[in-house]
Amino acid sequence: MLVSIFDTSITDNNLGNEIIMDAVYKQLRSIFGTYFFIKLPYLDSIGGQSIEYIKHSDYIFLGGTNALTAEMETYRQWGITKHNYFHVKNVTLMGVGWWQYQGRISKYTAKILKHVLHNEIMHSVRDSYTESKLNEIGITNVINTSCPTMWKLNEDHCALIPEGKADAALITLTNYSQDFNKDAEIMNIIEKNYDTIYAWIQGPEDYQHIKKICGKAIIIPPSLEALDKLLASPITIDYIGTRLHAGIRALQAKRRTIIIAIDNRAIEKQKDFNLVVINRDNLDHLQELIAGSFKTKIIIPHDNINRWKNQFNLNSYV
């Protein structure tokens, strides 16, 4: 019994995808405990060995990240091309999202997605926007479950997250989406409120951007292990940053979290699931939020998650 998984952390320099895949594997293990798992490359073109595993797999999953886009012919987030797509069939989405806000989906993309994605199993997507984009091209066996990284952030978990300001701050900035003036404004506010500031490097080029803007930050090594070690320490820490999944990792560790939105991902998660999010284009309330007290009340679609998971447990398709 074989499960193949397009692993979005393979050949990728964004450690946020390690956070996603950590949750994906834990959830899939809870469903397919006796199955053998195969990791397939995500960004690299799909080659002969991967195609053989796909052919012989009982289930094939794509785990998380911004894998879907309106024009796969020009912006390829997944290693599927016009030359190999016909070998890839019956893929099930798991917490997958849409890349940016986009217009009409191209005929090329619609053709590929309709061929590649399973037409009976219910797909799990991370937000309502992604669900609506797939519905546009007639893919309606889709359910909004949120990202698997959030599935355990239930009411009891959130009740253990502190409401008041911590002693230290953990920050992130995103190199590929810089706004020097806005990012500097964020850091100025953080420096006024915290004597100790830690910075985690989620992508390799984040380091230089952070050092330019916040020279006093204590740099945490760029590994998930180093991030987890800090979050598990006795230091009281608030997370404030533009890296979405570093923020979700902080929430998993029961740390008060403020995510600065730089694209559709955090904005849509705020709409659907009540994440604490401030848009970088409007930082008026950041100081008030940091200095004040707030409860973390994330709304997780448990019924949708259970519905998605149970279709495998019951060996029946929706």
Compute φ and ψ for 216, nearest 5 degrees: -85, -5
HSE-up of 113 (CA within 13 Å, CB side)? 29
Say if 2-149+301-313 and 155-291 have the same CATH topology. Answer: yes
- The model's pLDDT over 9-47, given as tens digits with 9 standing for 90+, comes to 988 888 999 999 999 999 999 999 999 999 998 888 788
pLDDT confidence bin for 316, thresholds 50/70/90: very low
- The model's pLDDT over 95-115, given as tens digits with 9 standing for 90+, comes to 999 988 888 999 999 999 999
Buried b (16+ CB within 10 A) or exposed e, 49-81: ebeebbeebebbbbbbbbbbbbebeeeebbbbe
- Amino acid residing at 139: I
pLDDT confidence bin for 75, thresholds 50/70/90: confident
Please list, in sequence order, all residues whose beta carbon lies within 8 angstroms of the beta carbon of residue 81, skipping any fewer than 6 positions away. 45
Torsional class of 95: left (φ above 0), alpha (ψ -120 to 50), beta (otherwise): left
Contact of 160 with 231, CB cutoff 8 Å: no
- The model's pLDDT over 228-271, given as tens digits with 9 standing for 90+, comes to 999 999 999 999 999 999 999 999 999 999 999 998 889 999 99
List the single range of 25-29, 262-266, 272-276, 292-296 with lowest mean pLDDT: 262-266
Q: What is the CATH number of domain 155-291?
A: 3.40.50.2000
Contact of 57 with 4, CB cutoff 8 Å: yes
Domain 2-149+301-313 classification at class level: alpha beta
pLDDT above 90 covers what percent of the chain? Answer: 75
Top pLDDT among 203 and 160 is at 160
Record the tokens describing residue 73, joined without a space. Answer: 């012919």
Record the tokens describing residue 139, joined without a space. Answer: 């893919």
Determine how many CB atoms are found less than 10 A away from the CB of residue 182.
Answer: 17
pLDDT, residue 238, reads 98
Please list, in sequence order, all residues whose beta carbon lies within 8 angstroms of the beta carbon of residue 157, skipping any fewer than 6 positions away. 254
Please list, in sequence order, all residues whose beta carbon lies within 8 angstroms of the beta carbon of residue 278, skipping any fewer than 6 positions away. 258, 259, 260, 261, 285, 286, 289
3-state class of 171 per DSSP?
A: strand
Gap between the Cα atoms of 90 and 5, Å rounded? 12
- Mean pLDDT (whole number) for 121-141: 96
- The closest alpha carbon to 10, from 36, 35, 47, belongs to 47
Contact of 10 with 42, CB cutoff 8 Å: yes
Determine how many CB atoms are found less than 10 A away from the CB of residue 220.
Answer: 18
Query: Which sequence spans correspond to the domains of the chain?
Result: 2-149+301-313, 155-291
Gap between the Cα atoms of 266 and 256, Å rounded? 16
pLDDT, residue 315, reads 47
Helices then strands, counting H and E runs in the chain, come out as 12, 12
pLDDT, residue 302, reads 96
Cα–chain center distance at 272? 14
Q: What angle do CA 39, 7, 227 make, to 5 degrees?
A: 115
